[in-house]
Structure 1
Amino acid sequence: MPGTILKTLAVLVLMAMPAFAADIQISTENTPSHFQTQVLQRYAAALNAEISEHHFDVVHSARAFSDREVAEAVSSTRVAIAAPGIWHLGQYSSDLNALLLPDFMGLEAQDVRRFVDGTVGEALEDSLETQLNVKVIGKWLDLGPAHIFTRKKVIRRFDDLKGLRIRYAGGDANALRLAALGAEPVLIPWPNVPDALDRGEIDGLLTTSSTVVSASLWEHGLTHAFLSHSYYPFYVPLISGDIWRRLSEPQRKVLTDSWEDMISDGRERAVSHQESSMALLREHGIKITAPSNQERESVRRGLASRQDEMAREIGISNKMLEILAQHGGD
């Protein structure tokens, strides 16, 4: 009840803009130690230094909303700003699932950025802004390559995933990919993952090294990592469309320019944090294995042969598939 009251009050304050100064919340489900939270905190500090009329504050650890529900919360002005992952946004715009298709499996950061920073990203942003009352603030923030982490079973080959209950955060294409590999995909919100591991409800999860480290998941039974490079996820910075329209043109410029000024550094931080997190996993006894490049490519091609079927099942438009093909999708 108190949380509901606070959210209601926040909506009333936000809807009153710009009549008086307001606290503007930036929501994330990640913990303070996660690099994404830290990037958002730096963003809030930059905004506070330039916009005196309002105060920007990061609300972390899903204390406002989980990332699975936050895009809708931004759209309805229950929170002002958030940066949910692409795996959560496909429920609003099916085309966002395109970046989770097998074609993107194993691609390096610069290769995927080429898509999201260009025509593909523009089309996806337009689709998202059409479906939700939101404005995309700027370039997307990397999370980093997603891998498979397990509690007990050592995964040395993709075939070893058969029969395992693997948690995924969202994204219909993630579920289809796991199922195609013989695993049982289990959708669990991030805040509930530690308890699910403790209770043995899942055998492992699809996530990144930074995310595992942010919650010290070795304390909840994770013992192995399999570097599957399943896909390369991003966070998409969103602001409520209603709030965007209430801001003055100079304030809007500060929001977009401040994000642009820090996104290159934010992406570099993402890459370096994933690397340092992998080292930290080793320090905490996580055993790391990886398939050969030949096996990963063979699995990717096998999954890609079913890609059109996957795309139809999850509602990716023919237009988006054509755009991908024109810009290097193979």
Structure 2
Amino acid sequence: MKEIFINSRRWFAVLAAMLTLLGGNGLARAQASLPQVLRISTENTAEHVQTQAIARFARQLERASDGRLEVRFHHSARLFRDRDAIAALTGGKVEMVVPGMWQLDRYVPDVGLYMLPLFYGRAAEQHYAVRDGEIGHMVSRRIESDLGVRVLGRWLDLGHAHLYFTDAHVSRHADLAGLRVRIPGGAANRGRLEAFKAEPVLIAWPDLPNALERGQVQGMLTTHETVRSAALWSKGIRFGFEDMEYFAQYVPMINARFWNGLSEELRQLVRDTWDQVVDAQREAAARAQREARKVLLERGVEIVKPDEKVLAQWRHIAGKQQPALVHEIGIDPLLVERAQQVVDQR
């Protein structure tokens, strides 16, 4: 009788183990069938050319994944401001961010290369020659290694950043002396404006309209399209100084843990879908900047454009500060030398 009881107890134990195993496998299969959630955070508003491109990417990727990915795109800083997005990405609080490059040099000094005086007043083609080539590839790899993220591919365009003012009618570089100018970030942006005797002030984008209305700054560093998309003439912007301070782009980054959890097929799908968006986005960004400039003029914003000779003169003036900036930021001097060689050939 005792033996029967023991055998029965063993049988129930085996049965329980089998049920647990079957249940665990069923749960694993159910979990495997669920889509992986890709949350994307950006700071710009729905009307912005960057936001519209990422929205297209999100739609195309989710559709192409056939239910394997659920893409949730949050713009207008609804999840994070760009200045906080990188820490959120590396901390696993979001799977993908596309911040402005000016947010990265505090984490990856070599990104500051693109905002150095050597690029001041340069045409977009000269920027592409560096960023889409071997040097750009090296910078992206350093972002990956320093932050532990994955850079999806080529960067999105915003376009040339210029200077805009409320009451200061700046018609020449000398007029910049003493003006408080908002910058979005970037030590090189600060250093370049300081070389022009202006006073750069770091203000996050969502806080800028109030800063303009309260007179905390007299000017700002941004683009025609950004002024248009936020209707900043309603916040007091009346003048523009179109000097091509630097060429602004956005960097597509994905959390490494999320990336490593994707199948190789899905990784390739994400890369390919992103690459399919970039060319059209860059064309749209250039078109948006041209159209935005017209809108600004129609809204009464007066725009002064220095000629190439003047820009070259002030590039030389700002360039005197470049060695100190390179050292301060920690940019690889070899990258600077190679970038200079590329733009000199253009």
TM-score in same-fold range (> 0.5): yes
For residues 117-145 of structure 1, the C-alpha deviation after alignment (integer angstroms, 9 at most, x for no partner) is 11111111111111112100011111100
Are 1:284 and 2:302 counterparts?
no
For 2:146, which of 131, 142, 151 is the aligned residue?
A: 131
| Mapped partners of 1:299, 1:98: distance in 2 | 18
Structure 1, 19-28 or 131-140: larger mean CA deviation: 19-28
Percent identity between matched residues is: 37
SS at match of 1:219: helix
Which of 224, 229, 232 lines up with 2:244 in the alignment? 229
The equivalent of 1:148 in structure 2 is: 163
Equivalent position amino acid for 2:129 in 1: R
8 Å Cα contact 1:197-1:220 kept in structure 2: yes
How many Å apart are 1:22 and its aligned residue? 4.0
Q: Structure 1 residues 19 and 128, CA, compared in 2 at 3 Å: closer, same or farther?
A: farther
Structure 2: 5+ residue stretches without partners: 1-30
* Offset at residue 89 of structure 1 (A): 0.7
Matched with 1:42 is 56
Q: What CA deviation, in whole Å up to 9, does each residue of 1:265-305 have, x standing for no partner?
A: 11100100011011111111111112222211100111113
Map 1:71-86 → 2, pairs under 5 A: 71-86=86-101
Say whether the 8 Å CA contact 1:27–1:81 is kept in structure 2. Answer: yes
Given that 1:145 and 1:231 are in contact with CA atoms closer than 8 Å, whether structure 2 keeps it comes out as yes
Moved more, 34-43 or 24-33: 24-33
Offset at 1:319? 3.1
CA pair 40-18 structure 1, distance change in 2 beyond 3 A: farther
Partner of 1:111: 126
Give, in whole Å, the separation in 1 of the partners of 2:182 and 2:340.
Answer: 30
- Would you identify which runs of 4 or more consecutive aligned residues in structure 1 move more than 6 Å? none
Note if 1:21 corresponds to 2:32.
no
Instruction: Tell me which residue corresponds to 2:181.
Output: 166
TM-score (norm 1): 0.92
Corresponding residue to 2:311 among 296, 312, 324: 296
- The equivalent of 1:308 in structure 2 is 323
AA aligned to 1:282 is L
How big is the shift at 1:37?
Answer: 0.2
- Residue 321 of structure 1 is matched in structure 2 by 336
RMSD: 1.5
- Residues 213-243 of structure 1 show CA distances to partners (whole Å, capped at 9, x for unaligned) of 1111111111111101111111111111111
Q: What is the match of residue 243 of structure 1?
A: 258
Relative to 1, partners in 2 of residues 1:325 and 1:284: Cα closer, same or farther, differing over 3 Å?
A: closer
Select the structure of larger CA radius of gyration: 2
Mapped partners of 1:276, 1:327: distance in 2: 30
Instruction: For 2:227 and 2:48, locate their aligned partners in 1 and report how far apart those are by CA, in whole Å.
Output: 10
- Corresponding position: 1:195 with 2:223: no
Find the aligned partners of 1:277 and 1:228 in 2 and give their Cα distance.
Answer: 16
